[in-house]
Amino acid sequence: MATHEAAEPPRDCPLCPRLVAYREANRAAHPDWFNGPAPSFGDPEARLLVVGLAPGRTGANRTGRPFTGDYAGVLLYETLIKAGFARGRYEARPDDGLELVDCMITNAVRCAPPGNKPESSEEATCRRFLGARLDALPRLKVIVTLGDVSRRNVLRAAGLKAGAAPGGHGAEFDAGGYRLINSYHCSRLNTNTGRLTAAMFEGVFARARALVES
């Protein structure tokens, strides 16, 4: 079983050579950026965990806070505020004062991958931190997975097969003591094409609210 100390990787985590090389290239080109494994953000007593894919190069990799600074963060944080899982105002900066309430956000893969596409070996390597993250949340009840990479890694981290839960927006599954709700990822592509609307996304977090309170 993972320890709580391992829930967050070290700033210079050396375990994925390709991602370390990308991190170092970004550090050389943009020394003012965060350029490290994006730490989980939120309430250590959270009953809701939101799991994304991986930091965007100019999002969390730049700012150091999940979903902060890229397009996906606008919809995610506005939706969390509406559902009562965040308070304050999202201004795309880690010092905007936004607070998560009964909620934490993390990523399945903590380092930014080239093209937003982690390799399966990188997902497997980083899963130790995801598993430790789940273990370190004593009140965790509901997990919202954003997209397929998130879903399969949460399932594996919970000791289940990657294909154990159904895909599709709004699908639910009992996973090792947690209730999983699957959502399409709040990426610019999904919202621009209408695959994910604000109402669909709000529906997921309304359901999460109901499950957290049940």
Interface region with ligand SF4, contact rule CB under 6 A, candidates 12-20, 56-64, 65-73, 198-206:
12-20
Does residue 111 touch ligand SF4 according to CB under 6 A? yes
| Binding of ligand SF4 by 131 (CB under 6 A) | no
Candidate residues 57, 62, 110, 207; the one interacting with ligand SF4 per rule CB under 6 A: 110
List Cα–Cα distances, 20 to 38, 65, 71, 150, 191, in angstroms.
13, 19, 25, 21, 31
Minimum distance, C-beta of residue 38 to ligand SF4, in the bound complex (Å):
9
Q: Which long-range contacts (CB under 8 A, 24 or more apart) does 206-209 make?
A: 206/83, 207/170, 207/172, 207/181, 208/48, 208/83, 208/85, 208/142, 208/144, 208/181, 209/83, 209/84, 209/85
Q: Does 19 bind ligand SF4 (CB under 6 A)?
A: yes
Cβ at position 87, least distance to ligand SF4 in Å: 29
> Which residues bind to ligand SF4, rule: CB under 6 A?
9, 13, 15-16, 19-20, 37, 109-111, 122, 125-126, 129
